[in-house]
Copies of this chain bind each other. A is one copy, B any other.
Amino acid sequence: MQTSLDHTLAALADPTRRAILQRLAQGEARVTELADPFAMSLNGVSKHIRMLERADLVRRRHAGREHFLSLNPQPLDEAAAWIVNQRAAWTARLDTLEALLRAEDAAAAASRRRKRSPRKQKK
């Protein structure tokens, strides 16, 4: 079963679709305007737009025979949250690991000092 997060990330995983979103961040646009900068058929661009609509990253407004597309950035928040949380979990684990290794190092060093200078310790 595909979740909305799956659709968002799959929609973002293509440079043409990311470029379309970057264009729409400047304001709404017609399909033909979006297709212009790409060496791609209108049909090809339409397929990309449908992937973005499925992910609810792009919304369509009809005005007579014209379709205007605009960006809906809300799904980006869920995607960003997942990535940032994952990053934080990993960093937290690394910090714990580092603290454990440091504690082990310190214990080993103390043990070495005791073994090397038993007389000093007796003084």
Dominant secondary structure at the A interface: helix
Q: Judge if A14 is at the interface, Cβ distance under 8 Å.
A: yes
For A14, the closest partner residue in chain B by CB is B6
| Cβ A83 vs Cβ B89 within 8 A | no
With A6-B14, A13-B13, A93-B26 given, is the CB distance from A21 to B86 under 8 Å? Answer: yes
In the assembled complex, the CB of A65 is this many whole angstroms from the nearest CB of chain B, namely 26
In the complex, which residues of chain B have a beta carbon less than 8 angstroms from the beta carbon of A82? 12, 18
Interface positions, chain A 1-37, Cβ under 8 Å from B, are: 3, 5-10, 12-15, 18, 21-22, 25-27
| Cβ B87 vs Cβ A76 within 8 A | yes
| Cβ A3 vs Cβ B15 within 8 A | yes
| Cβ B25 vs Cβ A89 within 8 A | yes
Q: Judge if A101 is at the interface, Cβ distance under 8 Å.
A: no
Give A25 to B87 CA distance when docked, in angstroms.
8
In the A-B complex, the 9 residue pairs with the closest CB atoms: A9-B13, A10-B13, A25-B89, A80-B83, A25-B90, A73-B90, A9-B12, A6-B13, A9-B9
Extra A-B contacts (11), CB below 8 Å, given A8-B13, A25-B89, A71-B90: A5-B18, A9-B10, A9-B13, A10-B13, A12-B82, A13-B13, A18-B86, A22-B86, A25-B93, A73-B87, A76-B83
